Amino acid sequence: MIKKQASCNDEFDPDSLSFEQALARIKESIQPIKGKKNVTIREAAGHILAEDVTSPLNVPPFINSAMDGYAINASDIPSSTGDTELKVIGKSFAGKPFDGKINSGETVRIMTGAVVPNGADTVIMQEHAEVKGSYIKISSEHKAKQNVRNPGDDFFIGDTIIKAGERLSPAKLGLLASVGITEFKVIRKPVVAFFSTGDELKGVGQHLEPGDIYDSNRYILFGMLEKMGVECIDMGVVPDIKEEIELTLKEAANIADLVITSGGASVGEADFIKIILDEIGEVGFWKIAMKPGKPLAFGHINDTVFFGLPGNPVSAMATFYQFVQPSLRLLEGESISAPVKLQARCISKLKKRPGRTDFQRGIMSSDSNGQLIVDTTGIQGSHMLSSMAKANCFIVLTRDAGDIEEGETVEVQPFNELI
Ligand code: AMP
Ligand code: MG
């Protein structure tokens, strides 16, 4: 009888780590890069701030109006009954303050964002004021200090407005601009080198010989890395020759913070990635109980983080998404939290064998009641990129789960902009 060895298709492989264990090991072993650089506000989008930023200003810097209307002193609001007439003595527009003072019985026409003049502390919406020549009439139905924005409402001088380690989103760039800060220190972007391995692979534009296929993974990786805003170096296709892969890998590890290969990560005769990593670096793990993506080599070559992704394009994408993406964030020193998952009603039957965590490709949408539903993209072959291209989420099925019947609730992980 033939003695069987653990294979890539086995659902229960005693040597493979669970998805969660793999992620935990990655988190433990990645050290943030130290390099910082000065950037101007226009260069800063997407970078991680390297130092806390404190505000040199109160924001808002002065008391200003939240409405178009009339600035008054609250003591002029009539008591429970009756109306009051106030004389309009001037205007305060945004950027053009009224430079006098308001006395009792007086008001100033004011616009949103304009300084509330001396002597005033309250704004009456223009819709609530009856204009009579150079007077306005107001009722008793107003509250003292309404419709004004006070200095420091948002934050005060000296408050930390963004902490080191936070990613500079457009809102945060706006926040920095709002206090007049135009230059600051950020963490430099990680450098990522990648190449494909496989005798059968041709770059687009090359002639295909019998048995050849086009290399999709480098284009996928390029797209995803670009979206992550890292500096990427495409090192091409390397044939399944151990010495050549080893040489390219060493060169890549010398120039990059993180190296990604695809293909050759399994146990076939032309699969050298794990063997080479063992020789020139350290293997963290190389098999994960997930589908797609079981043969995934992770480790280090000196200080460089290494991922040997599976060759099948869907597996390469899924493992990049689940593991390389958080690793790059960790390299930049960002703290990462578990991805958002939602509950959805599955509207088709899903095949699943217990043993591995499945990341099936799904299309989520709302039904006519506004409830989240998810459909499968169809056959789940890890060589079938069209199913990934159609999908907008992963349907995440836990390791122990079996087949899913139509109508069951499942967990979905919506794709972010990377896919
Ligand atoms: P491997 O991991 O090298 O055993 O490859 C597994 C499968 O993925 C094989 O069918 C390969 O031809 C295919 N494959 C490997 N690398 C690529 C690539 N860069 N683009 C498209 N398919 C690939
Ligand atoms: Mg191969």
Structure tokens at 291: 């589908």
Contact status, residue 191 vs residue 305, Cβ threshold 8 Å: no
40 and 171, same domain (yes or no): yes
Domain with 235, as residue range(s), is: 19-35+188-331
Interval 273-298 mean pLDDT:
93
Q: Exposed, middle or buried, 102 (CB in 10 Å: 0-12/13-18/19+)?
A: buried
Q: Would residue 4 count as lying in a domain?
A: no
What's the pLDDT score for residue 173?
A: 97
Q: Ligand 1 within 6 A of 265 CB? A: yes
Interval 143-167 mean pLDDT:
96
Q: Would residue 244 count as lying in a domain?
A: yes
30 and 40, same domain (yes or no): no
Task: Calculate what percentage of the chain has a pLDDT beyond 90.
Answer: 91
DSSP state, residue 156: -
CATH number at residue 144: 2.170.190.11
354-365 pLDDT, tens digit per residue, is: 999 999 999 999
Q: How far apart are CA 201 and CA 213, in angstroms?
A: 5
Q: Would residue 161 count as lying in a domain?
A: yes
307 and 203, same domain (yes or no): yes
87-106 pLDDT, tens digit per residue, is: 999 999 999 999 999 999 99
304-358 pLDDT, tens digit per residue, is: 999 999 999 999 999 999 999 999 999 999 988 899 999 999 999 999 999 999 9
Q: What is the mean pLDDT of the chain?
A: 94
158 and 299, same domain (yes or no): no
pTM: 0.90
DSSP H helices in 30-128:
none
In the predicted model, is pLDDT for residue 231 greater than 70?
yes
Task: Name the residue with the closest Cα to ligand 1, atom 10.
Answer: 312
Give the chain's domain count. 4
SS3 226: helix
What's the pLDDT score for residue 2?
A: 64
Q: Ligand 1 within 6 A of 382 CB? A: no
Cα(249) to centroid(ligand 1), Å: 18
83 and 222, same domain (yes or no): no
**Residue ending a domain, choose from 187, 207, 240:** 187
Q: Ligand 1 within 6 A of 292 CB? A: no
Neighbours of 219 (CB within 10 A): 15
What's the pLDDT score for residue 3?
A: 61
